[in-house]
Structure 1
Amino acid sequence: MRTRHGIHSPGCRPQRRSPGRSVHLSHGRGAQLVTGGSRSVAAVARTHNRQLHAEAGEAVEVDLKRLDGGDDGIVEVVMCRQKARNALGHLFVSQMRELVSSLSSDAAARVVVFRSLVPGVFCAGADLKERALMINSESDLFVHGLRSLMTQIAVLPMPTIAAIDGVALGGGLELALACDLRCAASSAHMGLIETTRGLLPGAGGSQRLPRTIGVTLAKELIFTGRRIDGQTALEMGLVNRAVEQNEAGDAAYREALSLAREILPQAPIAVRMAKEAMNRGVEVDMTSAMAIERMCYARVIPTRDRQEGMAAFIEKRPPKGSQSFWVMTPKLDQKDSTHVNLG
């Protein structure tokens, strides 16, 4: 596995980087992406900026890992603010925003998994120590930034999966709700508990929870500030999968990785267009939704994904581009939306 700093390690380390360490713009997969043209120059520049911030002495609270081998195309956003239980503080949010922004134009990223390296915690929500020092206007501005971050995650073009192996409260659950899919350990605890603090969910939770589990159940959970476990969340439709926790404490992550591997072989433009059709369609009336579906469908017709998929069906064989051999063009919004099939 490769981190954004090119270090082979099980995850990010939230210590300060050495000021004297050299910085390399391209390394490992990054170099391949630049020369191959599958990432934009802006995305590479943002990666470079993150490296500079790390070299300047900032603690790494959110990191990026690209899986390789058979998992090439799966990217992990790793949360590792150990002492503060991944609380949504200024630095954490800033680093998360930068990583998500880089992913928005990264055609090599096929599926994104959000996970935590803090034992027993996905994300504990707002950093109340930081919030206590803010005046009302500062607090309002910060929550607006949180709302914007969750929207950034929600509109990522590729499928996103939250791996909830522990506590996901308040803003932590709002982060998971911003993802397309959620896997949870049965023992995980989650809830929008803002009403117990004299607040209401302000980073999208009051809107995304009703759209996920229905208005009546969402009102009950938000009005009461109730916490539920992973199994109850599965029964409500809040998560897609719930699994028993393992000794390593990463059962939800392993389940999320399994789900990502099911998505990975599918034609990437088709998957992205399906996501766009659903996300935009649920917000409008049926007639408008059908028009959105037609538009998205039209964009997959000229792709080599579609041509190879149909040929494989007729010839009764697996698509040659399966198992991560599809290569997309840098911009999904090109008129022809074509890409090269290396299969």
Structure 2
Amino acid sequence: MTFENILVATEGHLATLTINRPSKLNALNKATIQELHDALAQLDAEATIKAIILTGSGEKAFVAGADISEFAHFSIEEGAQLAALGQEILFDFVENMKTPVIAAVNGFALGGGLELAMACHFRIASDNAKMGLPEVTLGVIPGYGGTQRLPQLVGKGRAMEMIMTAGMIDAETAKSYGLVNHVVPQAELLEFTKDIASKITKNSPVAISYAIKAVNAGLIDTKEGFKTEIKSFGKCFGTEDFKEGTTAFLEKRKATFPGK
């Protein structure tokens, strides 16, 4: 896969996708959003890929925000369409992928950058990372799911404060809030993330995809989440992964999941 604004590398069952606009601190423009969708869709459809790491190029930024120059003069209708399309093709798409996506947050994750990290299934940050939603300083609100995912992750009060003040928090604060799972030195970020990803790739990709679906359903509606869990749990019994996993357990060996 060759793109203008992103880099894709694969190693065994793991793919690393790097947003590569260093001169713009990896800011998201329309072209980059579309490329991210295209690359992630291809990786999600590839049976050999069992985990994806999403990061930014350089040491300054994961994604420093959206490319404001593209929408500064938009009308009400154009603004609504921008948010709807972006959520559909990237942010909601990432959240609902069957392949786990881990955000390796290296540096600034602001506005659309933080919203992209929050759409990933979980986040690991470098110790120099800074996170925030500064949109109200521009007279607009977070439009790519920020007002929805941030309260889910850090609670209503902290989310309200972050959004209303437009302030940034550092990596350790983000960890204490539950916004990121781990904080590691910048130089160790990718290797640390790859180590966690490698543990994921050893497990059943079918079961993981069902788990993602069930967790997401519960965040929308608790009752629906339980229903989805029950249904997905049952479906697992009809998979080759379940047969292999249970057989391997009984035979006291490590499972080799076919992903079916």
TM-score (norm: length of structure 2): 0.93
Contact 1:245/1:252 (<8 A) preserved: yes
Q: Does 1:61 align with 2:5?
A: yes
User: Which amino acid in structure 1 is aligned with residue 111 of structure 2?
Assistant: G
Cα distance in 2, alignment partners of residues 220 and 257 from structure 1: 33
Q: Does 1:185 align with 2:126?
A: yes
For the structure 1 residues 285 and 130, does the alpha-carbon distance in structure 2 shift closer, same or farther, using more than 3 Å as the test? Answer: closer
Contact 1:165/1:184 (<8 A) preserved: yes
Query: Structure 1, residues 74-133: CA drift from partner, whole Å, max 9, x if none?
Result: 112211012111111122122112222323433322111101113311001111222335
The one of 235, 239, 249 equivalent to 1:299 is 235
Q: In structure 2, what is the equivalent of residue 204 of structure 1? A: 145
Q: In structure 1, what is the equivalent of residue 246 of structure 2? A: 310
Q: In structure 2, what is the equivalent of residue 232 of structure 1? A: 173
> Which residues of 2 match residues 1-343 of structure 1 at below 5 A?
4-5=1-2, 60-67=4-11, 72-132=12-72, 134-148=74-88, 149-246=90-187, 251-286=188-223, 288-319=224-255, 321=256, 326-328=257-259, 339=260
User: Which amino acid in structure 2 is aligned with residue 207 of structure 1?
Assistant: Q
Cα distance in 1, alignment partners of residues 222 and 72 from structure 2: 43
Shift of 1:220: 1.3
Instruction: Give the gaps of 5 or more residues in structure 1.
Output: 6-53, 55-59, 329-338
Contact 2:131/2:168 (<8 A) preserved: yes
Cα distance in 1, alignment partners of residues 185 and 44 from structure 2: 33
Larger radius of gyration: 1
Instruction: Give the gaps of 5 or more residues in structure 2.
Output: none
Cα distance in 2, alignment partners of residues 283 and 140 from structure 1: 22
Query: Structure 1, residues 284-329: CA drift from partner, whole Å, max 9, x if none?
Result: 234x33221111011111222212222222232222x0xxxx333x
Contact 1:113/1:256 (<8 A) preserved: yes
Contact 1:103/1:156 (<8 A) preserved: no
Cα distance in 2, alignment partners of residues 138 and 284 from structure 1: 30
SS of 1:114 mapped into structure 2: strand
Cα distance in 1, alignment partners of residues 222 and 84 from structure 2: 28
Two-structure CA RMSD over aligned residues (Å): 1.7
Q: Percent identity between the aligned chains?
A: 31
User: Which amino acid in structure 1 is aligned with residue 38 of structure 2?
Assistant: E
For the structure 1 residues 138 and 290, does the alpha-carbon distance in structure 2 shift closer, same or farther, using more than 3 Å as the test? Answer: closer
Contact 1:183/1:253 (<8 A) preserved: no
Shift of 1:160: 0.9
Cα distance in 1, alignment partners of residues 213 and 16 from structure 2: 21
Tell me which moved more, 257-266 or 306-315: 306-315
Shift of 1:185: 0.9
Cα distance in 2, alignment partners of residues 85 and 116 from structure 1: 8
Residues paired across the two proteins, number:
259
Shift of 1:135: 4.7
SS of 1:282 mapped into structure 2: helix
User: Which amino acid in structure 1 is aligned with residue 226 of structure 2?
Assistant: M
TM-score (norm: length of structure 1): 0.71
Cα distance in 2, alignment partners of residues 81 and 97 from structure 1: 16
Contact 1:146/1:203 (<8 A) preserved: yes
